[in-house]
Amino acid sequence: MNHPDKETQLLVKEKIKTFELASDWIPGIKIIQGIDPIRNLFICEFGRQHYGLTKSFFEYLPSREYRKLIFDPEGPGTCLLGKTNINHEGYPEKRVYIRLGPITKDHIVELVTIQTLAYRNDGQPLLELTHILPLNLEEWVMNKIRRTVNEIRFKKQNYQRFEQLTERNKEVLSLMAKCHRADEIARRLSIEPNTVNTHKKRIKEILEIEKNWDIIKYGQAFEL
């Protein structure tokens, strides 16, 4: 655990003061947290109203409750879109997530950015800004995003299984996902139908699947 010196404490106060002054001009929910130890330092007025929190309640909100109430990067409906600007110590300066809320008439989706605001002298993060931007989307856009997020989540959950397949297994799986029969796959890959059936059996064993829909999901998620 790192104990901040006076210079670090002054830097923290300046960052918080800046966001207090600029908060009304920046859309969405803004949260500043200290790192190592994790401390809830600031949440904007809109965020307090949105989550029904007082300033003091937020400051003492445990990490587990924070993840349940505000944001959990590993939560259901949440997907990491990417990391950017890795610093010389290997820490990402920005992580961007998309989070789907429950299905409602408003079709809410949130774009969540977690960005490093300041570093310690040793290159480790000192402060992080979490910016949660709710978006009201039309139904067709929401459906497309939901489908994409589900594919990303499926790929993450099944990546290790998929990587156990041989290259030939993957070629067969790709054609299975396109609903080709064994004889069609054999002709395309210039192998015997019995060999295709052997590959199909092995693929289903490794991926632990039986239904054709599961095969199609692998094809979509892994872009076969």
Phi/psi at 107 (5° precision): 55, 60
104, pLDDT greater than 50:
no
Mean pLDDT (the chain, rounded):
81
Asked if 131 contacts 115 with a C-beta cutoff of 8 angstroms, the reply is yes
Nearest partner of 59 among 26, 78, 37, judged by Cα = 37
User: In whole angstroms, what is the distance from residue 203 CA to residue 162 CA?
Assistant: 9
Percent residues over pLDDT 90 in the chain: 14
Confidence of residue 86 (pLDDT cuts 50, 70, 90): low
